[in-house]
Amino acid sequence: MKKIAVACLFVLLATTVATLARTQNSANAGPFTGRWVVRADNGDGTFRETVFALEQRGSTLTGRVINPTNEQPIVDGTVIGDNATFAVVTGRPPNERRAEYRATRQEISLAITVTRPSQNPQSLTASRGSATAGDLPARLEPPALHRVPDNGLARTPPMGWNSWNHFRGRVDAATVRAIADAMVSSGMKAAGYTYVNIDDTWEAGRNASGRILTNRKFPDMKALADDVHSKGLKLGIYSSPGHLTCAGYEGSYGHEEQDARTYAAWGIDYLKYDWCGAGRIYKDDEMQAVYQKMGDALRASGRDIVYSLCQYGRNNVWTWGPQVGGNLWRTTGDIGDSWDSMTRIGFGQDALAPHAGPGHWNDPDMLEIGNGGMTNTEYRTHMSLWALLAAPLLAGNDLRSMSPETIAILTNREIIAVDQDPLGRQGHRIRADGVIEVWDKPLQSGAHAVGLFNRGQSPARITVRWSELGLHQGAHAVRDLWTGRDLGRLDAGYATDVDAHGVALVRIER
């Protein structure tokens, strides 16, 4: 979640009018000085706070805007009478985003409006914050580096489902049970999908002994895991090495071993561990040691738990992911349900191929197939590219209401076999001619899976020659994996017409 810290800020505040309680004011400071806190009800018994730490000197306003996972300095802050304007800038070039605010001073509160970007107004209830609202917990020094032993899991890329892309904070235990049922009834389980993964927003806080608690959306995580297991599936969960998760819920900071033991006791089989709030405590060059802490904790938990690192490709994670016990690691920011997002991420993975292999996979993020933002042609391209990349196949749609076309794309056994090939080689680009790309994935049998991609706006004829694949000249058997048709033994190469934004994925025998 990737990007998520920024996204959560705008979800909470965009074009909102919020009454914020002023927590302090000194004789030497202007009337805007203080910590102004808005507390938003998440609807599940938990709350999310955003803090405006403001300092006024004359007509100048400085300070910070702090949400659960990041803090940004105020820029261009100006006060005129009872009104102030200021801005924060999030993201990194060339993806910077500027949020602009207008604040009006009232007797004991402020009315704040986000004037840019503009969205529908949303009212928030005020609460009075303390002088330390939004501050970080005491820093825990990262451990010395060592290698975490391989857990022996995920010898092929994990397959399953994750709640975030479609449900985000709306996920609950009833939905997870229904998704598990749909995974079985739709044929996805039979096709190899195994993990039913709960993303952020399940956490409530901790009890007096520090044990992590679930919120009212998930009243009994152990019973939920037992139910999922009874269907022949596995249950995944989510946390962060920070004190807060991307959505502002309880993270695992300082409780790594305790949380790993709790996950094991519940029967959890997969952990997605999202950097988010840790970025306010640690630097990127400390990331390896921080992830190592949970890797050690999972190994000591007594249960086999797949370890998924989610840190958006920062700090060259593919070079050290296996050393912290990682089975997969995110290589990019969050995917969106659009052609531009999917292709930018998918076609940008070529250089990472040497770092993938059995037990350790590059993760270009979850599948968007079936969420409605792309055509079925584009979703076939999505599935084909992820299969060639030996990427984890984690569906991100609502499995309860899939069209026959979506089911057919997600459960195509021959495409899945490319992804799950036991050789574990990630495919690579062998040619790019403008909008035309040809990718090759060697398979354990000696065959090759070859994707002929048309990224353009009109149909195109695409050819691959046997010499480009390192195959000897002569006849080679070719099979179209989307139509399931044998195309015969062809000399020299293969050519076909490919629709705009489409793909031809073929298997070529040696």
Tell me which residues are annotated as active site. Answer: 274, 334
The answer to whether the beta carbons of residues 213 and 207 sit under 8 Å apart is yes
Q: Note whether 279 and 69 are within 8 A (CB).
A: yes
What the block records as the tokens of 405 is 């076309």
| Contact (CB, 8 A) for 220 and 260 | no
Cα separation, 218 vs 174, in Å, equals: 8
CB neighbour list of residue 433: distance below 8 Å, 6 or more residues apart: none
**Residue 244 CA: distances (Å) to CA of 6, 63, 201, 279:** 14, 22, 11, 10
**Distance, CA of 298 to CA of 206 (rounded, Å):** 19
Look up residue 250 and give its DSSP letter: B
What Å distances lie between residue 47 and 6, 21, 68, CA to CA? 18, 16, 11
The DSSP symbol for 1 reads: -
> What CA–CA distance (Å, rounded) separates 409 from 449?
17
The closest alpha carbon to 295, from 260, 244, 254, belongs to 260
Say which residues have a Cβ less than 8 Å from residue 46's Cβ, sequence separation at least 6. 203, 204, 205, 215, 249
Rg of the Cα trace of the chain? 25
Q: Is 278 exposed, middle or buried (0-12, 13-18, 19+ CB in 10 A)?
A: buried
H/E stretch holding 295: helix 287-300
Type and span of the H or E element at 386? helix 376-388
Neighbour-count burial of 290, counting CB atoms closer than 10 A to its CB (0-12 exposed, 13-18 middle, 19+ buried): buried
Q: DSSP code of 319?
A: G
φ/ψ (deg, to 5) at 200? -60, 160
Q: Which residue type does 75 have?
A: V
Distances (CA, A) of 147 to 150, 316, 449: 9, 17, 34
For 6, residues 6+ apart whose C-beta sits below 8 A from its C-beta are 70, 90, 91, 97
Residues 400, 406, 410, 414, CA torsion sign: positive
Alpha carbons within 13 angstroms on the beta-carbon side of residue 466 total 17
Between helix 339-346 and helix 376-388 the angle, nearest 10°, is 20
Amino acid identity of residue 318, one-letter, is W
